[in-house]
């Protein structure tokens, strides 16, 4: 993971310690909804680029990489590093060509 993403995660955890349970719950609900939408978006296209996702969902690339990493850890998607080309994220249940 890049240094920037790790710093963003660390900062998020720091801010979370000040949030009320209600706000943490709302964030969790929002994140769950975004995750469902990302999986559906990837499922429709089969392969996408993180930059394309960040533009579509109006999130920073760093935020989208965090979400994609979380989805990959949960085995909801799989990511392939294919260099600096487009379409380098695919669903785990998609068959490779």
pLDDT recorded at residue 1: 44
What is the rounded CA–CA span in Å between residue 94 and residue 97? 9
Q: What is the per-residue pLDDT across 28-75, written as a single tens digit (0 to 9) for each?
A: 898 899 999 999 998 888 788 888 899 999 999 889 999 999 999 999
CA contacts within 13 A on the Cβ side of 35:
18
Cβ atoms of 74 and 59 within 8 Å: the answer is no
pLDDT value, residue 45: 86
Q: Round to whole Å and give the CA distance between 59 and 94.
A: 25
pLDDT digits (tens, 9 = 90+) for 3-28: 565 566 666 666 666 678 887 788 88
Domain ranges of the chain: 3-90
DSSP letters spanning 18-46: TS-HHHHHHHHHHHHHHHHHHHHHHHHHS
Is the pTM for the entire model greater than 0.75?
no
- Domain 3-90 in CATH 1.10.10.10: yes
């Amino acid at each position: 993971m890049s240094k920037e993403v790790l710093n963003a995660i660390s900062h998020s955890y720091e801010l979370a310690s000040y949030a009320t349970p209600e706000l943490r719950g709302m964030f969790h609900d929002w994140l769950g909804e975004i995750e469902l939408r990302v999986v559906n978006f990837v499922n429709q296209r089969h392969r996408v680029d993180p930059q394309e996702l960040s533009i579509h969902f109006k999130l920073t690339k760093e935020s989208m990489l965090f979400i994609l990493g979380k989805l990959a850890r949960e085995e909801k998607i799989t990511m392939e590093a294919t260099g600096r080309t487009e379409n380098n994220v695919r669903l785990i249940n998609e068959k490779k060509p």
